[in-house]
Amino acid sequence: MKRKKLNSLIAAVIVSFATSAFSESPHWDHAEQSTWWAIEDTTQTYPPKRFPFAVCGVGQHQSPIDLAAAEVNDTIQINPLEILYDVDHAPVFFNSGHGIQVNTSIEYSGKLKVGEELFPLIQFHFHSPGEHVIGNTTFPAELHYVHIQADGKIAVLAVAINIGDENSAFQTVLDNVPSVSGGKNDNSGLQFDPAALLPPLDHPIKYYTVAGSLTTPPCSEGVQWYFLPTAITISEAQLNQLRGLYVDNYRLPQDVNGRSLLTQ
């Protein structure tokens, strides 16, 4: 399937990572997350379509979660993970209205490989504070790499962010994302390697995985989450710059509902 066709599918699957294609979707914000499920699309009369975010309230595999609340299972064999990112020669720096993100270009070939399955990297974005917690530990920010197959199957690679050394790759993102909601910078002339934001990786890659959902409306389930055990750092000044664009763009932890956190 050509990337343009895949992009059309993405537009239908992930409302929360919208561009102007979603300007007619019902408005939502993080401040009202307890009632996302009740937001109505008044243009629809058929009940399921009238409440497009209902799964945010009734879903049983919602994200994020408290990772410490899930049972860790290391007895089930899981597939090896490979992160096959490379340089994107025309990244699009985008202000989604709910956070800052970088959309990969149509020609981009970077992927996440899980076993024999390949998941193209479509975009990556940031939340502050971090959405997934570990008991009483909350991270200042969190990075999500979003991958979508041609059939709509979604895999998200999550990386925790701590305060420490300045991060030059993150600064490039901060300096090129428009400050206006809906703003898009597709003419930066920059080349960017998403791998520059990853922590040092073990070989084979150590990771944890759990079934979940999108963390923003429509909260669609069937998303497989992959967590790296090592955080990256940004400086306090960089965190303040991030929060100057978006603050508290995170969803609270959801019920685990018996899910297990699988690892090697």
State the pairing for strand pair 71-73/260-263. Answer: parallel
Calculate helix-pair angle for 236-245, 168-176, nearest 10 degrees: 20
Cβ(215)–Cβ(147) under 8 Å? no
For tokens 């960017």, the residue is 192
Active-site residue identified among 98, 125, 132, 144 = 98
Active site residue 127: no
Can you tell me whether residue 6 is helix, strand or coil? helix
Residue type, 153: K
Cβ pair 38, 28 in contact under 8 A:
no
Q: How far is CA 184 from CA 49, 58, 70, 99, 248, in A?
A: 29, 34, 38, 12, 22
CB 262 within 8 A of CB 208: yes
In the structure encoding, which two tokens stand for residue 60, read together?
A: 């049983």
Point out the residues that are catalytic. Answer: 98
